[in-house]
Structure 1
């Protein structure tokens, strides 16, 4: 098992991505401390700190911190930038980056003394390509990828890896459903046509599954990926060229 006896905290474990990662980590032998938004408010530094201290008190350490927190997309998608209020534009940028920063920084403080650990997050295709009606969602994902690089530059000398995953849209997730709704109004596409449109942009002409994404998360969290840090893994199945 790739993650046997690893102590892993997964924020956003109640969501589609966080839940899939939680199940995959469990299959590979990790000892899990899943936290959804009702358990830990990752925008609250003290709440994250209290939770981590409880993990350390019980498990003695933290090996993997995975931030899979999402922001309700129905509140941030579907409005043209020229009509978007600045507060609405800035909300996802603030929420996504604050959550990732707090969970990463506080986990790193516990990892540095042991000179070991992996900090992870998940972003999206929109971090690297333009798309209409996404407001501040794309800039938020780009900021997270920049933070991954900067965290790695500072933490790698302490033996800590920082990596991200950038999947293509996955039909099982709420994110892709929320992204579909504003486009349905403007384009007239139905759900099946929307999925076909996205799949046509990939090399295998299909969309990836949550299980495929979670399997890659397992590998990146494992010692088998010891050379990987300061990068976001491109899981867009060819939609986005590196």
Structure 2
């Protein structure tokens, strides 16, 4: 198994992406520590992982609370002996954030993703980096989306926030690499089966005066393979990047856009 004897924290583990990655990590032998704000939702994910033979622990953690993030990372190391993988998959409801032109957007709406996503990734990556550098190994994974690198309208503060996370990931990789810690960002196009994308595509469709299905078809057509990525595909790549088979990959933005972005 690719992640045998690895200990992984997944933040936002009750969401569509976080839960899929947690399942994939556990299926490859990792002990997963599920972190998020709602314990009941996390318990559902943990029970499914355990029913499949995996090992999962649950903790309520506010990723914007520095003390809570640090205390949880300490507890993981104390309990499991190491922190080998950190993956941040937090999300926000997008109504009021996407679907509005910049010139019509309030400062508060613009600031919400800018103040949430980069800070949350900074706090969780910093907590992981502090512990991983001490043990001389570890992998920090972040996730963004294609608008960070394309000219897409009606994204509000999301595209700038994703671009900030990518810059943060590269900087962390440069600083932590000499201590054996890798940092990789996964950049994905929208995954149709996620509830958040249903919301987001609806917001953009309304702004253009078309149906959600028509907007989804427009986005699908922008990919090279004429197919948007699935959550399972994202999870599979996350497993590989977290494993020792990807030791040469760090400071990179992994392109999971199906060719929407052509590197």
For Structure 1 versus Structure 2, the TM-score category normalised by the shorter chain is over 0.9
Q: Check if 1:176 corresponds to 2:194.
A: no
Contact 1:133 1:182 in 2 (8 A): no
Who is 1:31 aligned against? Answer: 31
RMSD of aligned residue pairs (Cα, Å): 1.1
| Residue aligned with 1:75, SS | coil
Which of 227, 230, 233 pairs up with 2:251? 230
* Superposed displacement of residue 188, structure 1: 3.1
Who is 2:123 aligned against? Answer: 102
Q: Check if 1:42 corresponds to 2:75.
A: no
* Superposed displacement of residue 83, structure 1: 1.4
* Superposed displacement of residue 52, structure 1: 1.1
* Superposed displacement of residue 175, structure 1: 3.0
Who is 1:154 aligned against? Answer: 175
CA deviation string 1:205-232 (max 9, x = no partner)? 1111100110000000000000000011
Matched length: 242
CA deviation string 1:146-168 (max 9, x = no partner)? 00000000000000000010111
Who is 1:54 aligned against? Answer: 75
Tell me, in whole angstroms, the C-alpha distance in 1 between the residues paired with 2:216 and 2:232: 18
In the TM superposition, structure 1's runs of 4+ consecutive aligned residues that sit over 6 Å from their partners are none
Q: Check if 1:115 corresponds to 2:124.
A: no
Q: TM-score of the superposition, structure 1-length normalised? A: 0.97
Who is 2:104 aligned against? Answer: 83
Q: TM-score of the superposition, structure 2-length normalised? A: 0.89
Contact 2:100 2:207 in 1 (8 A): no
* Superposed displacement of residue 185, structure 1: 1.8
Tell me, in whole angstroms, the C-alpha distance in 2 between the residues paired with 1:46 and 1:124: 28
| Residue aligned with 2:95, SS | helix
Q: Check if 1:215 corresponds to 2:225.
A: no
Tell me, in whole angstroms, the C-alpha distance in 2 between the residues paired with 1:121 and 1:173: 18
| Residue aligned with 2:29, SS | coil
* Superposed displacement of residue 184, structure 1: 2.1
